[in-house]
Structure 1
Amino acid sequence: MVVQKRWAKIAQRPHRNSGAQSHGGAMSIRSWPAAERPRERLLELGAASLSDAELLAIFLRTGVAGKSAVDLARHLLNQFDGLRPLLDADLSAFTSQLGLGSAKFAQLQAVMEMARRHMAESLRRESALENPTQVRSYLKALLRHEPHEVFGCLFLDNKHRVMTFEILFRGTINASYVHPRQVVKRAMAHNAASLILCHNHPSGITTPSRSDIDLTKRLKEALLLVDVHVLDHVIVGDGEPLSMVERGLM
């Protein structure tokens, strides 16, 4: 609510035994009671009721010798130290693991891209001012997996609906590297009425640096010269993205 008002002013189910073991290895999930099977549980209770391992098992579909799909999912989550590192893994790291190949990698990338596009479509229909949490979730989905710092802009129309997102700079993000002229140029190219600045901190720590604050001030002043309003500067890291407007830094 705080972010919404200020923008307007600017213009894991617990670990379960995987079932009895046969001499050849883990019992097939098909042999489990229906109420225990991940797919049936999802259909009955919804995806949110499943653990990370169960969701991943549905994606994997099958296990490997000696491991059911759920066993394999648990193994992979342990190897990657969690779901997010697995989802963020590049092709080489992903396919180096048991039961994962390039086809699975391609499927996973397609699923994640569809999720990002779903969020983008929702933002194109409604005012970003009305959905600050959704905006930040969308920016996190776009930037959190980036291994290096990137700086981008979410361009909005005169009704504050999202028109498009662009990454404008890659590398060290500071006031000397990000050129206001380029940001102004892209805003004018899209005929944007306002925009939201964003960049990521690969370290995961979202606390803005002095350079982040200075850069925001410079860009805000430059864009006002062409009547484009900067609504916020969002920093993406671990956990909830940081809003500089919410922190009173703009």
Structure 2
Amino acid sequence: MRKMGIGLQLYTLRDEMAQDAASVLQKVAEMGYEGVEFAGYYDFSPEQLKALLTDLSLKAIGSHVNMERLQNHLEEEIAMNVAIGSRYVVCPGINQAQRQALPETVAFFNECSSQFASKGIAFGFHNHYVEFTENYGAQPWFDAFFGSTSPDAMKSELDVCWVHHAGCDPITYIDKYAGRVPLIHLKDIRKFADGTYQTLELGRGEMNLPAIIAAAEAAGTEWLIVEQDDCDLPALESVKISMEWLRRNVRFAEVN
């Protein structure tokens, strides 16, 4: 069974990246992360960003590209992601109106997918919890959406913490969409009786991460990507703690 790469969604370090992106990427590489997923490009040109990643031996897993960028700047996003070697572009979420206009949203995403695929890039969707708590027709929106798109046109970047937070079983969803979940977002969480929650470093919350990772490997996942939306500790310390947990719990491999 093939092993998975370990990556970081740079949204976790958004404040630090805004101050000195090159220095932060160097620290990420030194921690042992094999790849990064972008959430913006911090004024780098495609050539500059590619050179920096090459110097640091970091792979460009892909980029989060929001609806506004997909609608109005698609060619720029394609050019950047081709230049840096991304294999994936992911929409990080959509609003309620877009979710409930499902046929129109699916048609738009299919067109985006076709444009990315022509350059060798797969297109995907990243969930939060609302896609599981909000229905479209008689089923959760997530299932309605992926049931309306083909496995080739739309991949799932499954954020297993948000699946859990919605009251669903991440392993059930990994198994259900096996072969269609090349990217998994990992964070830990602690939920409180009053309905609030705290996102945490890996291994410090209530997620059954070893079982989730085993299911992801069996489902053909290529990358496990750390993303901690909010950190109580300094964010660089948080991603280091999560990396150390992964070193103890996941087999490493080069992912082409």
TM-score scaled by structure 2? Answer: 0.29
Looking at both structures, which has the greater relative contact order when contacts are Cα pairs under 8 Å and sequence separation is at least 6? Answer: 2
The structure carrying a bigger strand percent of its residues is 2
Structure showing greater Rg: 1
